[in-house]
Structure 1
Amino acid sequence: MPTANLTFILGGARSGKSAHAEQLATTHAAHTVTYIATARGTAGDHEFATRIAHHQTRRPTHWHLLEAPWDLAAAIVQADGHGHCILIDCLTLWLANFLCPFDEADAHGISKDSKDSEGGKHYATQLAALETALTSATGQIIVVSNEIGLGVVPLGSLTRQYVDELGRLNQRIATLSTRVTLMVAGVPLAVKTVAHA
């Protein structure tokens, strides 16, 4: 069942999806806007730190920021409210945090060996909580994710698993969404629009 206040924006790398999401969020300038970032720390990764800094400088300074690399549902509940807007950027990194932990001590993720592992159970629990938070929210929510399944089947079992899991995640969020937009070369294409009853 679609959630009336959920917009899902998909696209490839540098397709303009984040900029489009931010533009939509600025239409809520009279209300509270919270940006939920899912990226983990960038220690030693200067290129990724530069990407994050670019996103930060583009956002209005009055927006609130929450960092939620794992417990995205809790961040949504914290930021939600009537007249509020939440921008989540992005599901791609959120899933990677589970699937590709930095090391074994950071293993919140889906096991490379078995989806029945404790990590896989943790992801399943967080995904269920995310869906509940999205369907229960009272404010406007904009979710960003990558569409990475349009090319050839990738080499390597972990990469294939990631592509499969992200595709499944995107489908689940699209099912909940009233609006789904695909970004192509900076141009938004409406994929799904459900009229309000």
Structure 2
Amino acid sequence: MTGKISLILGGARSGKSRFAEKLVVQTDAPRLYLATAQAFDSEMERRIASHKQDRGSSWTTIEEPIHLAEALSLHSAQSNIILVDCLTLWLSNLMGHDLPIEQEFDKLLTALSKLPGPVILVSNEVGQGIVPENALARAFRDHAGKLHQRIAEISEEVYFITAGLPQKLK
């Protein structure tokens, strides 16, 4: 899987993270979990702790809510595999810090093109519902859609997960 990019899309609680983790454990490579979530409340703290426990000790967890391109560049190696979970949380973090979204996307795509090892990126598909009523939600949906298109274009594999069932798109 050297240098291979895979994108896993799906709705909330669709099984996309579980599917991505299964792809990783099918390899013998050291497993890195690059988490973009931030615990702003006790419920999120419990979710994060539960996910770490479910993954077990065979994973190394790296928490990076903002500087995703830099973290990937720093930790990628031909000998390991990185699972990024998830891009939409990362996008929320960027928007919450009022960072230049397109520049951050460009940095991520540049980093992905230069990684020596494989990476699996997980993200929520948010563009299949109704048009959001407020400008911030519409901007988030639009940014996520553009990011997904750009990453799908450079990915060797793209999956869409519905009710735990993977559909290979590419």
TM over 0.5: yes
The structural deviation recorded for 1:124 is 2.8
SS in structure 1 at match of 2:66 = coil
Query: Matched residue pairs, number?
Result: 169
5 Å matches for 1:140-155? 140-155=118-133
- 1:37 is matched with 35
State the distance in 2 between where 1:4 and 1:174 align.
15
State the distance in 2 between where 1:139 and 1:97 align.
25
State the distance in 1 between where 2:3 and 2:68 align.
20
The structural deviation recorded for 1:171 is 0.7
- Counterpart of 1:19, as a letter, is R
Q: Structure 1: state its 5+ residue gaps.
A: 102-106, 110-118, 193-197
Higher mean C-alpha displacement, 126-135 vs 89-98 = 126-135
Q: Structure 2: state its 5+ residue gaps.
A: none
- 2:76 is matched with 80
Rg comparison, structure with higher value: 1
Q: Does the CA-based 8 Å contact 1:4-1:178 persist in structure 2?
A: no
- Counterpart of 2:92, as a letter, is A
Superimposed CA distance per residue, residues 128-177 of structure 1 (whole angstroms, 9 cap, x where no aligned partner): 11111111112111000000111111111111111111111111111110
State the distance in 1 between where 2:62 and 2:87 align.
14
State the distance in 1 between where 2:60 and 2:104 align.
23
Q: Does the CA-based 8 Å contact 2:5-2:118 persist in structure 1?
A: yes
- 1:113 is matched with none
5 Å matches for 1:1-197? 5-28=4-27, 30-40=28-38, 42-43=39-40, 45-99=41-95, 101=96, 107=97, 109=98, 119-120=99-100, 123-192=101-170
TM-score (norm 1): 0.81
State the distance in 1 between where 2:20 and 2:166 align.
10
Structure 1 segments of 4+ aligned residues over 2 angstroms from their partners: 123-126
The structural deviation recorded for 1:127 is 1.7
For the aligned residues, what is the CA RMSD? 1.5
SS in structure 2 at match of 1:169 = helix
The structural deviation recorded for 1:4 is 5.6
TM-score (norm 2): 0.94
Superimposed CA distance per residue, residues 52-111 of structure 1 (whole angstroms, 9 cap, x where no aligned partner): 122111113121111111110111111111121000000010000011x2xxxxx3x2xx
